[in-house]
Structures are given as C-alpha cells and as structure tokens.
Amino acid sequence: MIPRYSPRDVAELFSDVHRFDTMLEVEILCAEGLSAHGQIPASDVAALRARRPVVDAQFVADVDERELTTNHDTAAFVDVVQSRIGMPEAAWIHYGMTSSDIVDTALCYTLTQAMDIVITEATALRDALTRRAFESIDWPITGRTHGMHAEPTTYGAKFALFALQVNRDIVRATNARAAIAVGKLSGAVGTYSNIDPAVEDFVCAALGLSAVPATQVIARDRHAEVLYACAALGSSMEQFALEVRHLARSEVGEAQEPFAPGQKGSSAMPHKRNPILSERLCGLSRVLRGYLLSGLEDVALWHERDISHSSVERVVLPDALQLTVYMLRKATGLATGLVLFRERAVENLNQGSLGLVFSQSVLLALVESGLSREDAYRIVQAAARNASENRRNFRDVVTEDPAVTLDEAALERAFNVERMVAHRYRFLDALTWRS
C-alpha cells in the first residue's frame, strides 16, 4: 500500500521485521512443544530461547541476501536463524516442519492482530454515527427515493441506519477474526507425519490460535472471509459517504464535510468546498472489493497445495487491512465533524419540494373521507402535476381544488411533519449497544 493510505500501526504488522519475528516465535514455540513431549532435550530448547536473535532491519537484509542463493524465502529465513543461534542447538529449528507450518500460522496470527484493530476502529465509527443519530433524531429532512423528493424523515434516522449497518459489519468482522485465528503444524500434506498433534495444540495455544485440520496449507476460504469483512465495511462507508456527497451538492446544501482553517477546496475556484473525503471513501471502497475477488480466486488450490495464492496474498492482505483501517478512521472523522444545515433542510422540505412530500398523506385523507383509492389517487396526482408545472405550493393547489372535500383539520393533519416522523425514536431503540 502506498504511504498515503498506510496507517503506521497496521503497516508495521505486515512489515518484514514483524513477519520474520512472528515466524521465529513459531519456530521456537514448536521446539518448546517438542521438548514438552520429550522429543528434544530441554537444555537445547532453553538455549534456543536464550539465543533467540533480534529481528531487525539487518536480519531482514541477511534473509534477502541469502534468498539470492536459495531462491526460497523460508529456507533463507531458516538458514539465517540457524546461523545466528549456532549449532548444535540450531539444528532443532524447523525440525519436522514444512514452510507453510510457520508461514501460515504466522500470517494468521498477524491477521488476527490486524482484525483486532479493524474491529476497534469499526466500533469507533459505529459509535460516532450513533452519537449523531441521538443528536439529530428530531431534525426533519426530506427523504428521497430514486433521487427524488419522497416523504419527510430525520437526520437522526439516517445516522441510525448507517450505525446499524456498521454494527452488522462488526459482527462480520468478529466472525472473520475467529475464522482466521487458527494455525497448523501438521507438516507436508497435513498428516502429522513428523510432528505430534499435541505440539500443534501447544504452539497454537501459546499464540491464542486454534489448531485446525489442514492440507499443507490452511484453507483459503478463511482468508477470503477476512477480505469480505473488509469489503463489506468499505461498502458501508461508501454508502454513508455517497449520502454526504448528495446532501452536499450546491442545489441541496443540507450537509457539508468539515472544512479546516487554511484548507482549499479548489486550486482555481476559491468558493469551492468539495466533498473530497467522501469521494475518496467511495473510490477506495472499489479497491477493497477488488481485493475480495482476488481472495476468492485463491480458495481453489491444487490437491494438498500449490502456491498460486502466495503472490496474491502478499499484495492483497496487507493492502486490504491497511486500507480498511485508514478508511475507518477517515469515516469516523467525517461522521464526527459533518456539518448539518437544519434550516436549509426544512426549507427544502417545505418550499423546495413545494409540499409534494405530503401527497400520500392527502391521498390517505381522501380515502378516509370516503373516496375510492383510484379516484383519490387521480385527484392528488393531478394536483401534484399542477403544483409542479406551475411552481405552486401543493397545499394551496389542494385547498383550491373543488374535488378535495377535506376540512381544515384534515388538511392540517395531512401536512404535519411531526405526525409523519412520530415514530422516529424506534430507530434509536434499535441501537442496543448504546448504554
């Protein structure tokens, strides 16, 4: 991932230093597990732990240099570890294991750490949306379907629905975290030909993972599930950002992204306050969905394994996790700082819509008065067309229409915003995580 979209804490998880350090821990834990089951002298294992090399930039450089000879990165890693620890104890490094034992287990451990950050940041976004829902539940705004004025809703209802969607994403991410929190040390083709399953249990328990049956590699549907959780979060953030973009349009003017002192919206037009953050979130969500496709393509491997997935994962897994966290943090800032223009929203609801948002209310009032639904519909449809074409207030047109026999009380009820959003607190009741 390019530095622009790389949160440091997540980028460090996928650095070569962290990767090799985690692989080294798996190696030493395996030796300790073998020793616990009487297969390796305890003194040798103690020496491995005592002489555990520091994994730093020089260590990574040494592995890279060794790989020029081995043309195998894990073999190069093992060679460097053994040379740093020294013989004869270093002979127990990688004893009975295949490359995927340490690579897959280390990767899954790293992915669980990354998913912990994702879940934390997704929770922050959900909570920010929740706060805005409670703050603005009483603020009316025009609801739109097909991009057209429909009926009144409130800002708070919008925020609540976004919060509920992110909460579902948190459930998905939590499930994906559980699915990827696994490890295997079952050797070539996964038959435990050289390592007892108890050793696998020992290592996984030490890392907070669950040992699972596997071929030579851990099943890649687990990794695809992680990518789906990221893509789902991206799509939810896109939906929120897209709403902001629409509400921020000049002719709507019901919301605006936070605009910092000194910020410039355009290099050419000083008046511009473009929704650039929302547009960025929409764009990056497309990238996350692309990573999911790559992850799904990685699920089907030949027989007990091949490495067609490996090159893909080196790109898409680190990038997806970094990008998801970056987007979550930006989306939380957007939700927190979004400026809402309540007066403009009311103006659009009343004058801007010409009152046409109350057409169904008039329809139902006419039905209640004794008209058939078809007759009532045609009366209201004609009145609405008259109001729209002549740019007149819909209530005035309805009041003047001799076919409309509603009294003032019925009209007042039909054109009452409060009545139409009276059940708005039901949205808040659904936000069950709020204490």
d(Cα 85, Cα 52) in Å, to the nearest integer?
Answer: 7
Helix, coil or strand: residue 113:
helix
Active site residue 146: yes
CA nearest neighbour of 308 among 384, 419, 217: 217
User: Which uninterrupted H or E stretch holds 337?
Assistant: helix 308-337
d(Cα 222, Cα 213) in Å, to the nearest integer?
Answer: 13
d(Cα 328, Cα 372) in Å, to the nearest integer?
Answer: 51
Catalytic residue among 37, 83, 193, 266: 266
Rg (CA), the chain: 30
Tokens of 362: 């008039």
- Facing residues of 140 across strands? 154
- Facing residues of 153 across strands? 141
Catalytic residue among 146, 267, 271, 435: 146
User: Which uninterrupted H or E stretch holds 106?
Assistant: helix 99-136
User: Which uninterrupted H or E stretch holds 301?
Assistant: none
Residues 6+ apart with CB under 8 A from 350: none
d(Cα 350, Cα 160) in Å, to the nearest integer?
Answer: 24
Active site residue 149: no
List, by residue number, the catalytic residues.
146, 266
